[in-house]
Every structure is written in C-alpha cells, then in structure tokens.
Amino acid sequence: MAPKGKTIITCAVTGSIHTPSMSPHLPVTAQQIADAAIGAAEAGAAIVHLHARNPQDGRPDQTPQAFRPFLQLIKQRSDCVVNITTGGAPTMTIEERISPAATWQPEVASLNMGTMNFGLFPMLGRFESQLKYPWERDYLANKDIIFRNSFADIEHILATLGANGTRFEFECYDSAHLYNLKHFHDAGLVRGPLFIQTVFGLLGGIGAHPEDVMHMKRTADRLFGDQYRWSVLGAGRNQMPIAAMAAAMGGHVRVGLEDSLWAGPGKLAESNAQQVRQVRQIIEGLGLEIATPDEARDILSLKGADQVAF
C-alpha cells in the first residue's frame, strides 16, 4: 500500500476530544503545542495534525489567531508536514471550523466525511473526579452531540481549501463515509491519491475489532483501487494494536494525544513523542521504514512547505 515501502507516521498533538484535566501531559499553550509537535517530528512523525486550545482553561479554540504562534514556531524549527484540523470540536459551526485552514493554507487539512452521533460521555465516569474546569464536565456529559458534516459542508470545505492547493486527510469513521468520499471523487471534486484516515473505536463510529479494520480496508480497496493511501487511527487503548495491524498490511498510521492518552494499560503517555517512538518501534520491527516529511509529500502529492501562508 505504501509507495517506496515507506510508512507515514502522523501525530495528532492535542485535539478536542480529551480535556486538560485528564492528563498533565496534554499540551495546551502555544509553546507546549509547538514543542510537542517538534518533539513528535524529531521522533519520526512526518506529519503533525494540529488543533489549538485556550491557554487559560484548555478549551478548544478554533480562531486563526490561536494557531499563529505555534504554526510559526513549528515552521522555524522543523520541516514536518503541517495538517490543520477542520474538525475543530463538534460543538462549533462549519465557518469556525474552517477558518484556521482557510487563513493559513496548510499542505494538509483534515476533513470528516459524514455527520455522526459523537459520544464522549463514556469517559466521564473515569475522569469526573479530577476535572478542574466547569466546561469539561458539560462537554463530556453531552449525549446530544451530532457532529455535523453535511454534503454541503464537505463541498464548501473542499472548494475553499482546495483553491489554495491544500489537500486532505479524509477522516472516515464508518463505511458510509467511504461511500460519501466516493461520491465526491466520482463528481471530480477530489482527486487521487486520496489520503484516507480510517477511524476506529469512537462511540458513534465503527468499532475497533480486527474485522472492522478489514471491512474498512476492503471497502476502500473496492471503491478506490490504487487511487488512495490508507492510514489508521485507533482511539484510546486501540491505538497501538490497530496501528500494528495496519502497518503489517502496508498502511500508514496515526498516533498522538488527540486520539489516546495512554502508553500502556493504566499508564499515561508522557508525550506525543513517546507514542511516535512506540509505533516507530512496531514499524521498524516489521522490517519497514518510516517516511521522512519530504517522502510523505511525494507519497501524498502535496504542494510543499513553501506554499503555505504561515
């Protein structure tokens, strides 16, 4: 699956799923996010996937101004590929979510490929006693979250960011999302190679059983043939087992504190770089090589770091 036999590691640095009280190692300030991203790149991540947070209480912040400081620091200190979220948080409007990527014109932006129920509330029972900020409990306890990604929303993101040469990490949480992507591909609104991130283990999406992984890959193979590059994201404790399975099958992998806070059973990861090193050990233990940032750019046909607006 991976051209040149190289495996791309993406590191999702902070995200919007976990709240800062869940782990003291979750980066929150711009300096922390920049340091975490650069550390992950130095450990072997070719791509860093970025959200921003309010430095006072850690809540998700999707203003372009919140992204500026760490984007500039990362570009000064690393040649990694920068991937800016358009997911933001499921409570945000589509215009809020798209604003940072539209402003900073990265090489890659994430794009969720369908509307879905989004259940974070199972985490509340485990972490409720340690939550420090009022917004955290309300955010996690909400059982009415519908993560909107309508066909109109997706088309708007494709047109707005595509005009700047940004390509996409297509996040597919279920097989229906692959069919949604097929619709846009057939309509000529996206072109290969498609970077498809299949997501496993979040409540509201497909599960994390090996058969679920195989089902998503078989479906993508049938729909897209050699026009896509496959990567996986396993949530929580599923992160490393699913990464290992996909790497053995020739896929790319995503790790990071956005997706999982853990480095092992009951053991919090101390950094994003720690998770990158863990998955790198798996990949290299399989006799595979990790991709450099420039090799990732070649594999995914990206525009290059000199074409961004930060």
* pLDDT at 4 exceeding the cut of 90: no
CATH topology of domain 3-307: TIM Barrel (3.20.20)
pLDDT digits (tens, 9 = 90+) for 266-284: 999 999 999 999 999 999 9
Tens-digit pLDDT profile for residues 121-147: 999 999 999 999 999 999 999 999 999
Tens-place pLDDT, residues 82-131: 999 999 999 999 999 999 999 999 999 999 999 999 999 999 999 999 99
- pLDDT at residue 37 above 90? yes
Q: Outline where the chain has alpha helix (H).
A: 30-43, 64-77, 94-104, 124-127, 134-141, 151-162, 175-186, 210-224, 239-248, 272-285, 293-300
**SS3 labels along 85-136:** CCCCCCCCCHHHHHHHHHHHCCCEEEEECCCEECECHHHHHHHHHHCCCHHH
pLDDT of residue 5: 82
Residue 2 has pLDDT above 60, yes or no: no
pLDDT tens-digit map of 193-251 = 999 999 999 999 999 999 999 999 999 999 999 999 999 999 999 999 999 999 999 99
Q: What is the pTM of this model?
A: 0.97
* Segments making up each domain of the chain, as ranges: 3-307
